[in-house]
Amino acid sequence: MYQVLYRKWRPRRFADVVGQPQVTTTLKNELTAGRIAHAYLFTGSRGTGKTTCAKILAKAVNCLHPVDGDPCGECEICRAADEGAVMDIVEIDAASNNGVDNIRSLREEANFTPAAAKYRVYIIDEVHMLSVGAFNALLKTLEEPPPHVIFILATTEVHKLPATILSRCQRFDFRRIPPEEIADRLDYVARQEGAELDRSAAFLLARLADGALRDALSLLDQCLGRSHTVTEAVVNETAGLAGRDHLFDFAEAVRNADAASALALIGALHEGSKDMARLCEELSSHYRSLMLIKTMKDARNLIAVPEEEYLRLERQALSIGLTTVLHCLDTLQEALEKMGRGADRRTEMEMAAIRLCSPELDSSPSALLRRIEALEQGAPRRAAASQPRQTAAPAAPQEPLPSDSREPGRSEPAAAPAAPRETPAVSSTPEDLTKNAVPLDVWPEILQIMKGYSATISAAFTGSSAYVSGDYVLIDAPREMAFELLRKSSQRGKMRDAIEQVTGRVYKLGPYRRPEKQEAEAEDPLLRLTGMAREAGIPVTETDKT
């Protein structure tokens, strides 16, 4: 009979346990020294090895020929334990045996000496499911058990255990397993099964498993059922990651305040038998990804998506404010809770979509913050914003700042970073920069960060805007003081750091001139001469102009 991978490749020695050295090393040392406790408590999230280590410990204390704290795996006790045929190793599911009578029968049985092994071991899984009466019945036996009895308690919710139980056990905390170690284990299992597993596919499986090796092996099992050569595309199809364009379309509709498009999308998905609660969960996960990208330098390890989708998320995150993302998360979580209480799912989803597209209809604090941000930016929040924005081509920068040359110790990026919107690759000539410049929508967030660096700079750039062209950020400030500050290397570096923190990329800085200002300079020979002097690096003061 076929055995699933997570059972077939369950570790049989402490040395085979992945990602829990703080547990396995301590247990091996205790067993080697003969310091065997009467009660152990294993806690941690699902799939991290609690039950596996409990079974190995039960074998190790009864093994006839232990090897450095590990069971030998060859003696009759070890072989019988692997087959589940040792009567002295008892596994109890507390979820279905949680009454007082179950614990009383366990206490009576514990008084008898082992039939074949040295110790009678009780492994109580999901121990937090025991009733209050059952805990009280277990308490005395757990405190002073017979010398031949060992209790191993396992739980995913340790906070539900009474303090009286916790104080009588040796506690071991199981951590989530790092993706690198899960990927290595998956690669080993795939080779043993005669299958091919791409490294990128292994890492994607590891991220999807969220630190649980058992979940990763189950996903690998599903992938092998589809193809014996597991690639990233196979993982996407198996795990249901393919066809997620509707999440990006919904986020764009919210950004453009286009309620009609959002409702049409929900209607189309409902007609396709999409569960609205599931859609709400997927959208929450999508906005969580945007939140992590906007607040971290590199969120790849926390977002379980293919590289291509991650880059797409990065591009969308640049065009959506953080307050909008948090408002969407709050609204979707509230809608999901109402769906769980029996509300009509489609209606609740549609109401949430309208509130997200029209934050003035929502009185929550997150919606108010989003409206304040929109007022500060002066950006339109209506469906008209979904139409292509017509912007005049910015003029060529007439007075490039010294910031085009990097400070010592700061290296140029290996490749020209992508602009927040899709723009073709451009050269650094002024003509090309002006042709391809697009507004930088996240400029208010950058100024908010600059406020923490320097109140002077923040005040100087009040009312300013910025544009992106290739690897340049062109700044349009109403005050000349802003450009004077940026000519200082320390202030220039702070501005670059703030831009990199929000966009995740390093840009060069330059001034932005409006078309009408460029025409005025073209007609005024004095202004043209001033611009030429600044290009040559000659400082020009107001006295020189007069």
User: Per this entry, what is the length of the chain?
Assistant: 546
Query: Is there a common fold for 5-174 and 179-239?
Result: no
* Domain range annotation of the chain: 5-174, 179-239, 245-386, 423-545
Give the three-state DSSP class for 89: strand
Model confidence at 398: pLDDT above 60: no
Mean pLDDT of 209-221: 91
Give the three-state DSSP class for 107: helix
Model confidence at 480: pLDDT above 70: yes
CB contact at 8 A, 131 and 98? yes
Mean pLDDT of 263-285: 90
The CA distances from residue 241 to 44, 216, 305, in Å, are 27, 15, 8
Q: Sorting pLDDT into bands at 50, 70 and 90, what band is 109?
A: confident
Identify any residues that bridge with 340 across adjacent strands, giving them in sequence order. Answer: none
Mean pLDDT of 226-236: 88
Mean pLDDT of 484-505: 79
Closest CA to 512 of 427, 401, 424, 411: 401
Tell me which of 235-239, 280-284, 379-383, 477-481 is least confident. 379-383
Model confidence at 403: pLDDT above 50: no
The CA distances from residue 399 to 395, 512, 519, in Å, are 11, 9, 15
Tens of pLDDT, residues 322-347: 888 999 999 999 999 999 888 889 99
Closest CA to 11 of 56, 50, 46, 77: 56
Model confidence at 424: pLDDT above 60: no
Mean pLDDT of 66-88: 88
The C-alpha atoms of residue 487 and residue 484 are separated, in whole angstroms, by 5
Mean pLDDT of 310-330: 89
CATH topology of domain 245-386: Zinc Finger, Delta Prime; domain 3 (1.20.272)
**Beta strands 508-511; 472-476: pairing state:** parallel
Give the three-state DSSP class for 151: strand
Tokens encoding 142: 């757990």
Task: Output 420 or 318, whichever has higher pLDDT.
Answer: 318
User: What pLDDT score was predicted for residue 59?
Assistant: 92
Model confidence at 151: pLDDT above 90: yes
Angle at CA of residue 301, ends 330 and 352, nearest 5°: 15
User: What pLDDT score was predicted for residue 397?
Assistant: 42
CB contact at 8 A, 442 and 318? yes
The CATH number that domain 5-174 falls under is 3.40.50.300
Model confidence at 425: pLDDT above 60: no
The C-alpha atoms of residue 79 and residue 62 are separated, in whole angstroms, by 12
The answer, as to whether pTM is greater than 0.95, is no
Tens of pLDDT, residues 154-204: 999 999 999 999 999 999 999 999 888 999 999 999 999 999 999 889 988
The CATH number that domain 423-545 falls under is 3.30.300.180
Tens of pLDDT, residues 294-310: 888 888 888 878 788 88
- Give me the helices (H) in 68-131, please: 76-82, 100-110
The C-alpha atoms of residue 401 and residue 384 are separated, in whole angstroms, by 36
Statement: 179-239 belongs to CATH 1.10.8.60: yes
Mean pLDDT of 416-432: 45
Closest CA to 157 of 126, 132, 130: 126
